Amino acid sequence: MTDSTVRRRHVAAALAALLPTPGLHGGYAPEVDVPQGAEEASGPEELTRVVRDQIRKGVDWIKIYADSRWGANGTARPAFTQAELALVVEITESSGRHVVAHASTPEGMRRAILAGVKTIEAGDDGTVEIWQLMRARGVVLVPTVAAGDAVSQSGGWKKGTAPEPARITAKRASVRAALAAGVTIANGSDAGVFAHGTKAREIATLVDYGMTPTQALVAATSVAARALDMGDRLGTVAPGMLADLVAVEGDPTRDIGVVPRVRYVVKDGRPVAGVPSVIPARAP
């Protein structure tokens, strides 16, 4: 087994995200009992047990819902207290791992940031003050812009022909404000809301929301790798890194739409698919 194989086997993974007991996420009618898709825990004893149990099972990350909808179709509110979030981060960090938080409300984001999470997922309603706090604390934003875009389209929005829904306009403004504040943004698609295998949609949507093509590509490569604590092996082309590369038809720094047009794939420095003539030949 080669060194690169050993290094590749360790991937960033998490189990079910944490929600308070009883679970809140989803906005279903109270008489409907549905699987939460999350692990419920509240208070110091339950949170300590659940976090340590997930660590025992081999997770690299703990994910937590810092806010959620209270009641059927309720307004999003913080899901955990500041002390509960801080406890989860303390236990997780003590094991050499990090916490990521799904958060959309300013207060949920604020609590998660102050607790010491590594990234905020979504961040829909972030304010200037929140963005400034994120930048000061070095917390990375993963805005998952394609998810909201996909949900709106599945709900009937005809993108490109119909007026933009208010939630999309607000999300666009939120991402632009985060960029203006200097928040580090990483690509994360939330795939599953839209079809797996089409994750380049997130990169294109980041550009649509205000990033340059180069910024979006960096967000999906070196920034994402650093956010996942894999910057020493992934995300850049340099000696000693895992050579996972693709060649696309066109220049993605000028036209982000060419990213899905993959013509050549290299994995661990070895060609595995495509036609090599699409990239310049070089001496062996």
CATH classification of the domain holding 270: 2.30.40.10
In a shared domain, residues 49 and 162? yes
CATH at 10: 3.20.20.140
In a shared domain, residues 209 and 264? no
Region for 206 from its dihedrals, namely left if φ exceeds 0, alpha if ψ lies in -120 to 50, beta otherwise? alpha
Residue that terminates a domain, selected from 201, 222, 237:
237
Supply the DSSP symbol for 20.
P
In a shared domain, residues 209 and 269? no
In a shared domain, residues 79 and 163? yes
Each residue of 93-105: b (16+ CB within 10 Å) or e?
eeeebbbbbbbbb
In a shared domain, residues 221 and 255? no
Tell me, what's the pLDDT at 247? 93
Q: Which residue reads 């679970």 in tokens? A: 23
Backbone φ and ψ for 61, nearest 5 degrees, come out as -135, 150
Residue that terminates a domain, selected from 237, 255, 275:
237
Residue 279 is part of which domain span? 243-284
Tell me, what's the pLDDT at 284? 46
In a shared domain, residues 263 and 141? no
In a shared domain, residues 28 and 74? yes
In a shared domain, residues 51 and 107? yes
In a shared domain, residues 194 and 226? yes
Cα separation, 160 vs 31, whole angstroms:
39
Q: Cβ contacts of residue 229 below 8 Å, gap of 6+?
A: 12, 98
In a shared domain, residues 164 and 255? no
Tell me, what's the pLDDT at 186? 98
Q: pLDDT 10s per residue in the chain (284 long)?
A: 344 444 444 566 899 999 987 655 555 666 666 666 789 999 999 999 999 999 999 999 999 999 987 766 667 899 999 999 999 999 999 999 999 999 999 999 999 999 999 999 999 999 999 999 999 999 999 999 999 999 999 999 999 999 999 999 999 999 999 999 999 999 998 888 888 889 999 999 999 999 999 999 999 999 999 999 999 999 999 999 998 999 999 999 999 999 999 999 999 889 998 866 555 545 44
Tell me, what's the pLDDT at 7? 43
| Amino acid in the structure at residue 98 | H
Instruction: Name the token pair of 206.
Output: 């980041």
Tell me, what's the pLDDT at 68? 87
Total count of domains within the chain: 2
In a shared domain, residues 136 and 255? no
Nearest to 175 by CA among 210, 204, 205: 210
In a shared domain, residues 215 and 83? yes
Cα separation, 109 vs 140, whole angstroms:
12
From residue 40, how far is each of 23, 53, 104, 221 by CA, in Å? 6, 13, 19, 33
